Amino acid sequence: MAKKSKTVSKITRSTSRKAPKPAGGGLDLALLTRLCETPGVPGREERVRAVIEKEIKGLFDSTEVDALGSLICRRQPRDASGKRKSVKNPKTVMMLCHMDEIGFYVTHVCDKGYVYIDAAGGFDTRNLFSRRVTVCTDSGDLPGVMNPGGRPVHIASPEDRKKVPEVKEFMVDLGMTSEEAKKRVKVGDYIVMNEPAMKMGDKFVSKALDNRVACWLGIDSVRELAKLKLAHNCELVVAFTTQEEVGLRGARTASFAVRPDIGIGIDVTLACDTPGVPENERVTVQGKGFGLHVKDSSFIADHTLVRDFEQLAIKNKIPYQRCILAAGGQDGAAAQQAAAGAKAIGITVGTRYIHTVTETIDLTDLRAARDILARYVASV
């Protein structure tokens, strides 16, 4: 029998070979969910900042909130045990992670109690039909539904059906009387999409991955430094910036204040590896690693930084893909072009369906971005 049993045990051994680790294994997705589900449009990022401030306890030597609401966190050089060490003229490496998501501001509450809006950030209005939203007022969050005004499909003319309405033609119904709506909602209150985040196989889906992914990376890459006991000789500054979606505004002022030697813009980028997009316009392919972001319409990365990150990724077997984004920008451009300028690069996570409520990332790429950021800080 023994013999037989040996064979059996061999078979069991082969069948019990460890299943590949799920892409999301060990990643703090609860934090990513909290970040994604906290409302924060350009100019009103304070609730997201509060979540981050709670999470970063013990990771930095100092934090400050600047005039535009950016949270600037500084970590001085550390030895492998995490203790501060003195380094003569340490280089300043700045990560820029914008907190704002695209959303709306209230422009008017009409006599029937409907709320009218103005966009903060770029929207394709075809994605705004029949959406659940949250209206953030000083007296609390209110649930609402967003639709364009006009005839619904049953009574719409063929022309009507083809029309793509502008943002100003959309309105939010709160299910309230006009008195109550006017009492509760003020011009200048802000509105975000109301869509819960979800894990989908090795993917993660949310309406605010742009750019809560970077907020997560700005926190977890520093945790990873500590966890892996990686020493670093540079001063690390993580700036959780504001108003990126309306023109890199918070990053400009934060970069002017910090004057980094090296700026790293962390953001999502396009992953158009979906049907109907020609191969040469995919930008990134999900599951192939973090985006080594060489160029977009706001900046051209420093080629020596591109080389350094690439060599580091190869050395540490961290999957990556070089990418160029034809249209669109990110905070790295602000760090590069602020004050007397800095060397800059973009580290991105390929995202499908950007600026929709179904933004989707691959967790392998998220992990790769986290790992390369931690390794890079330790390498400077």
Chain residues binding Zn ion by CB under 5 A are 210-211, 267
Q: Which is nearer to Zn ion, 148 or 291 (CB)?
A: 291
Q: Which is nearer to Zn ion, 185 or 208 (CB)?
A: 208
Q: In this structure, are strands 131-137 and 359-362 parallel, antiparallel, or unpaired?
A: unpaired
Nearer to Zn ion (CB atom), residue 37 or residue 210: 210
Report whether 30 contacts 220 (CB < 8 A): no
Nearest Cα residue to 41 out of 277, 268, 243: 243
For residues 108 and 111, what is the distance between their CA atoms, to the nearest angstrom? Answer: 10
C-beta closer to Zn ion: residue 38 or 92: 38
Minimum CB distance to Zn ion, residue 333 (Å): 12
**Min dist. Cβ of residue 327 to Zn ion (A):** 13
- β-sheet bridge partners, residue 145: 132, 173
Minimum Å distance from CB 208 to Zn ion?
A: 10
Q: Which residues are catalytic?
A: 244
Contact 332, 257 (CB under 8 A): no
C-alpha distances out from residue 251 to 51, 85, 347, Å: 20, 28, 16
Whether 259 and 291 have beta carbons less than 8 Å apart is answered as no
Distance of closest approach, residue 103 Cβ to Zn ion, in angstroms: 13
Give the residue from 266, 214, 253, 237 showing the smallest Cα distance to 337.
Answer: 253
Sign of the torsion angle spanned by Cα atoms 44, 45, 51, 57: negative
Minimum distance, C-beta of residue 100 to Zn ion, in the bound complex (Å): 8
Q: Which residue has the tokens 């500590």?
A: 226
Name which of 103 and 148 has its Cβ closer to Zn ion. Answer: 103
Q: Return all residues near 88 (Cβ < 8 A) that are at least 6 apart.
A: none
